[in-house]
Chain A
Amino acid sequence: MTDTTSRQESLGLREIWRLSGMISFEVQFQSALEMSQGAFGQSIEKQIKKARSNSRVNKGMVSVFTLVLAATFGFLVWAALSGVIGVSPDLQWTTVALTVSIFTLMNFGFLVFWGVMQVTSFISSGAASIGMYLPISRSDASKLALFGFIRLFDAQIITIIVAFPIAYFVATFSLLGFLSCLGITVVTMALAVTMMLLLAIYFHSKIQSSGGSRFSTLIRLVFTLFFVMAIMGFSLSIQLISFILPIIEAFAIALTPYWSWLAIIFPFSFGLVVTQATGVPGTPFIWYAAVSFIVFLLLAVLGIRWSGGLLSRIGAGAVVETGPTIIQPVTVTVSRVGVAVMRKDLRIAFRTPGQAIMFFLPVLMMLPFIFQFFEGTGAIYVMDILILITTPATMLSFFAIFFLSVEARGMAFTLTLPLKTETILRSKAQLITCMAIAIPVVVFIVSLLRPLTSWVSLALSVSMIPLVYVAAFLSLVLFTRIIGGGRLVGFEISQHIGQMIVVGMLAATLALIPLGLYGLTWIFMASLGFTIDMAHLGALISVWLGILFNYLLGKILASRMLLD
């Protein structure tokens, strides 16, 4: 046989940079593929195209978010120093230090939580080791992996490093402040990358490779929660921007006695260093903070050296060690059919972060309202609670059909089992209902912070559980009828988006009917001279009548007309 290959010289940096784009895209594609399992039967070409555009959109979104955040925190620094928000001169240093510290912590946390998933894919996918199989030098293979890793977060890291120091300079016109701000941002990014890699290796060994002990199940859950926290953090940060100033002011006052030990803790030591470099008068404990910063600087240098070495080894084909396999006894738990379907769906959903986030939807939707409750005083009216619970209840009803796609390709297996379509749909509706449990829980927590004017508020929030169940079941029945003639079939979301929106809106409307009945009954009874309590009670009864109507409608449609 002849040698059909030819020996190549070392690749240039430009060529390595170009090739590394393929590695980072492959990692992003695999993460996206994991998250878009709902796109049942979608062609691989479409998925590649979608992953490519998602990658650009995600990078753009993260950059814009970072810019907005940097500008907001820059404004806060300016506001504290210029006196427009009335911070007393002796509290200026603590406000500035706290603002810088909070921004540093947010960036650190966001980069770690957001990045850990992609880095785990980077380690486990094998995409980074591609250089090992190519006729290139070991050094080039290592660089390929290193650049591939950098390109996963290039937009985010560059934006953070550039945006905040510039925003800080514009706010303070201090060159030293700008340089120190740049310094702490770079060190923070280095620490975040190191932490991200450490966590990714830990998760890789625990999730991808080890046995199914309870511990590894717990770790898997934590891993999913990381992703959810990143999303929630993103959403919360945007919602919180208008609340940040009073929070910082309150914290600045509350934390003043504790700065002697806060000065040595990340990220407060960083905040103090920047505040001192800016020349804000009265900054205390600067030596503590400086020593602490130097320690973190050394840790960052060591971390980056370790990270570089690890990425080089991955590029050269080294396998990240995994935990030992724990062999457990061969037993299974046989449960009721409906419970088994729900448990299976839950397990699948919680291993797909994109789906796991759906379970936190009700809480996410209620957060802005909850913050409003924090601001006010006095008892909360039933009507305020009604507004609080309407959004998650109607949105859960609207999104119910999306849970048909939880199984993704596994749906083909479900169809081989002796399961009635109605059983599967009821189980899915029950799963969606589990999310609605968060609604009364949140209302109960709110009631601990501020009193409620009537017990009906709690009863009303509990009513959202059956309300969501019947609306979800109705929409699942209707959608199954439309796309499968009453039989459950695998489907592609993008091809049925129109039907999904129509059915989703119908379900949301059905969920709104009992809530509308509440308002109408209350007004009607109040106008007849009933006491407020009696009017609320009557209105609550009409909610349950509305739910009962929807329940009967679903039962009739499922058994007589729509399902096989």
Chain B
Amino acid sequence: MTGRLKGNGEPIIARNLVRRFGDKVAVDDLSFHVKAGEIYGLLGPNGAGKTTTVKMIAGLLPPTEGTVEVFGFDPITNPIEVKQRIGLVPEDHILYKSLTPREFFDFVASVRRLKPAMVRQRLHSFVDAFELQEYFDKPIAALSHGTKQKISVISALLHEPKLLILDEPLSGLDARSARVLKDILNFHLENDGGILFSSHILEVAESLCNRIGIIDEGRMVAEGTVKELRKMVKSVGGSLEEVFLRAVQQDAEVAATVAALRRALKETQQ
């Protein structure tokens, strides 16, 4: 099995997703879909509900209300089917830190029942591309943030998934590795793969994503292409950062905070 399983339907269809933790509503009536051959950017300030949404799509957390379909499968009732088809790069490195990358990939390839020849070829290519050879036998705990991120990215790509769910995938990567990853993502799109891309780096989202959904306090506050979003907030020509702040209604508050900080710094200067 190569991991290229045929599933029905679009990579992601989320309908009226709600997730509550006690009294707190982390995700509130969220609906969106990701099509094959596109990168969908999920943007939002800290605590907006991005990671909770990603967990519900990956089958790691059941929604309180609403439904998710990944290639037509419900991640909660068919978690194995969904997990076979997705490659997940979570925001925090959830890796076995006492293992070496070699031992870690041993485990991932075995659990995903990948063919040894295919693993050898793909792993070799990824390790070369991300310059990981010299770290291949060191404990993951001893590696830098960027190197851990490379391991996380490779483990998500190893089984050639149809859908990539990437939460801050460029975090900690050097310019070379970031470029390599962007090329891999383009190759993935050319092969009709889908990508859900969650990031705080607005410039990256602006340059990579076909469509963007901006969420705040668990709700979708704006959705569309960058062009459509600019029109939506009536600041045509502005950067995505301005669009984003306007959409989450933080532009005035951020401007006031920055001004107050500058005043405080000036006063403490001697």
Residues of A within 8 A of B (CB): 2, 208-209, 211-213, 325-328, 330-337, 339-341, 343-344, 347-348, 351-352, 407, 409-410, 412-413, 415-420, 564
B95-112 contact mask (Cβ, 8 Å, vs A): 1 or 0:
111111011011111111
Query: Which chain A residue lies CB-closest to B82?
Result: A418
Known contacts being A340-B107, A341-B111, is A418 close to B84, with CB within 8 Å?
yes
Interface locus among B7-15, B114-122, B195-203, B233-241: B114-122
Q: A2-B270, A332-B120, A334-B110 are in contact. Are A212 and B94 (CB under 8 A)?
A: no
B123 within 8 Å of A by Cβ? Answer: yes
Are A334 and B114 neighbours in the complex by a CB distance under 8 Å?
Answer: yes
Instruction: Give 4 closest A-B pairs by Cβ, nearest first.
Output: A212-B137, A340-B110, A418-B83, A410-B96
Flag if A327 contacts B134 (CB, 8 Å).
yes
Given A340-B107, A417-B83, A326:B137 Cβ within 8 A: yes
Residue of A nearest to B128 (CB): A330
Once the chains are docked, how many angstroms separate the CA of A209 from the CA of B112?
30
Chain A residues with CB below 8 A from B116, complex form: 332, 334
User: What's the nearest-Cβ distance from chain B to residue A383, in Å?
Assistant: 43
- Given known A212-B136, A327-B133, A415-B60, contact A335–B94 (CB-CB < 8 A): no
Q: A-B pairs with CB below 8 Å: how many? A: 113
- CA gap between A348 and B99 in the complex, in Å: 7
Closest B residue by C-beta to A409: B94
CA distance A412 to B102 in the complex (A): 19
CA distance in complex: A344, B81 (Å): 23
Residues of chain A within 8 A (CB-CB) of B95 are 410, 413
Tell me, in angstroms, the Cα distance from A540 to B3 when the chains sit together.
Answer: 48
Is the CB of B124 closer than 8 A to any CB of chain A? Answer: yes
- Which residues in A have their C-beta under 8 angstroms from that of B98? 347-348, 351-352
With contact pairs A208-B142, A415-B60, A416-B94 given, residues A328 and B136 touching in the complex (Cβ less than 8 Å): yes
Q: Is the CB of B111 within 8 A of A327?
A: no
Q: How far is the CB of B32 from chain A (nearest CB, A)?
A: 21
Asked whether A325 and B102 contact (CB < 8 A) given A334-B119, A410-B97, the answer is: no
Q: Which residue of B lies closest to A413 (CB)?
A: B94
Question: Which residue of chain B is the closest to A564 with respect to CB atoms?
Answer: B79
* Interface: B127 (CB within 8 A): yes
- Interface of B with A (CB < 8 Å)? 58, 60, 79-81, 83-84, 88, 90, 94-100, 102-103, 105-116, 119-120, 123-124, 127, 133-134, 136-139, 142, 269-270
What would be 16 A-B contacts, judged by CB atoms less than 8 Å apart?
A208-B139, A211-B137, A213-B137, A327-B134, A328-B102, A330-B133, A335-B106, A340-B110, A343-B106, A347-B103, A348-B99, A352-B98, A409-B97, A416-B88, A418-B79, A418-B112
Q: How far is the CA of A412 from the CA of B103 in the complex (A)?
A: 17
CB distance from A125 to the nearest CB of B (A): 12
B194, chain A: closest CB distance, angstroms: 17
Q: How far is the CA of A348 from the CA of B138 in the complex (A)?
A: 14
Contact for A348 among B58, B96, B120, CB less than 8 A: B96
Q: Which residues of B contact A413 (CB under 8 A)?
A: 94-96
Tell me which residues across on chain B come within 8 A of A412, comparing CB atoms: 90, 94
> Closest chain A residue to B270 by CB distance?
A2
Say yes or no: A330 contacts B96, CB within 8 Å.
no
Taking the nearest CB of chain B, how far is it from the CB of A558, in angstroms? 16
Q: Which of A212, A331, A419, A564 contacts B111 (CB 8 A)?
A: A419
Minimum CB–CB distance from A219 to chain B (whole Å) comes to 13
Q: With the chains together, A331 CA to B116 CA distance in Å? A: 9
Chain B min CB distance to A331 (Å): 6
